[in-house]
Amino acid sequence: MSTIQNWQIEDAKVKALDDLRVELNILASREQTQAISGYVSLTTIGKLGKKIKETRRQINSYSQGGRKLNLFDKLVFRDIKRNVEVINIYYDYFHNPKNEMNFVSFFSNLMGNKSAYYDYLQMMNPDNYPHEELDRRNELSNIIFNNEVDNTMIFNPLSSNETLKEIKKSLMEKFSENKSFIESFYKYNGLDVSKVHVDISSTEDGRDFFENILRTIALNSEDFFCYKDKEGKIKIDDLCAKIALTHEYAHAIHFNLSQNMPNGLRTKSEDNLLYNQRILEEGISQSSELFMQDHIAEKQQALGLSNEEVERASLDNKCVLARLLPNLVWNLLQHRELEEELNPKIPKQFKKLTRVVFEEISGMKRLRKDPFFLDILPFFEFVDSSLVYIEGSRRIYPVVKKMKSQGYGTNTILPALFHGCWSDVKAQEKFIFDLYLPRLKSEN
């Protein structure tokens, strides 16, 4: 059964708008690149403002035309409008001097949810935050973390230590095994990964990533944990590597399958906005991790895993997202605090320090005494390091749950998600349930 489909726009005006939004995304991505590099060109900002006005004018003109569109074109048009709206919100807040929107409203509007800012704060409430799961995963990982061999020693090319050489050899064998294991998982579910290259790397920031220009995945060596077990034997734990490799392969597959969609729904390096396309893109890769967690449990015996190791793998996705949340909430509060501090209209008695508010919300008292426990980051940096993963999972997981409730399996759910890099999750959901799945049934 083939799950790969090709969808294109029929209406010429919608296609022109789709190409126009790609031009806008590229220009907005240039601003994003500049901000990450520590500067902003006013010339670029001027061009961005003009392009936003032009694109919105074209959208408004088309909206009043009363044309009848097929459902796919309607969904693409809806996605274009949300895409442009997000860029306009970002531009107005950061670059329009006439805009008086406060940070709380800006963030909530950017997320497309009026209560988004406060929703994230409530996620840190002790009743909502997964303290028990984090404690259990930490307990299960304790023997590894306390007896770990430093990876920089293992990959030191000048080392003459024979034990380290043997560990490196075993680790590279594990790397090959994991690559085959993940490739088999995706192939079994009807997804081709044969043209994707995988290298092991040792970047200082510990990142894994997919480089779409070279179609190459870089799996960081720190995803493999070499440690001495209770019996004094050196072991290599590769559960994190399995999850990480699954995630990056998902990016590679998403990139490939999105090329079967219209221009504005394709993943591209030149217009991949952190605060727009990246959110649903990361949500989809996060979802792939959940399926791998289930797959690991199914293959427990073949992989020779203990019950504790399977349990640890099952907690991985939820706990990783939970560990990112304090950093996100801390920075949301910091941006609010700075804005209030500069606002003379707010009486001093109503201005609260971030560390006080954070303690009140989370019950975590450490930050009141240790305000440098978490970093204060630029907007783009906390979006990139935490928001895209958490918000992406919040948007995509319900779509996955809905497909599961209707009896669809991994071999249908994953391909459905990989068709297009959408800005509007409701448009993507409607595409999947009203177009993709019905066509799949009719063709098979």
Read off the tokens for 160: 């003459």
What is the predicted pLDDT for the residue at 328?
94
pLDDT in tens, 358-380: 888 888 888 777 877 888 888 88
What is the predicted pLDDT for the residue at 279?
93
In this prediction, what percent of the chain has a pLDDT beyond 90? 63
What is the predicted pLDDT for the residue at 352?
65
pLDDT in tens, 100-157: 899 999 999 999 999 999 999 999 999 999 999 999 999 998 888 888 887 777 777 6
- CA Rg value for the chain: 23
pLDDT in tens, 145-192: 888 887 777 777 667 778 888 888 888 999 999 999 999 999 999 999
DSSP H or E run through 198: strand 197-201
Is-contact 264 78, C-beta < 8 A? no
**pLDDT over 80 at 261, yes or no:** yes
pLDDT band at 230 (very low <50, low <70, confident <90, very high): confident
What is the predicted pLDDT for the residue at 203?
63
**pLDDT over 50 at 223, yes or no:** yes
Greatest extent of the chain over all pairs of C-alpha atoms, in Å: 75
Pairing label, strands 209-211, 216-220 = antiparallel
Three-class secondary structure assignment of 254-312 = HHHHHCCCCHHHCCCHHHCCCCCHHHHHHHHHHHHHHHHHHHHHHCHHHHCCCHHHHHH
pLDDT band at 389 (very low <50, low <70, confident <90, very high): very high
Average pLDDT of the chain to the nearest whole number: 89
What is the predicted pLDDT for the residue at 205?
64
What is the predicted pLDDT for the residue at 397?
96
pLDDT in tens, 269-328: 776 777 888 999 999 999 999 999 999 999 999 999 999 999 999 998 899 999 999 999
Give the pTM. 0.92
Q: 10-19, 57-66, 375-384, 394-403: lowest mean pLDDT where?
A: 57-66
pLDDT in tens, 10-58: 999 999 999 999 999 999 999 999 998 899 999 999 999 999 999 999 9
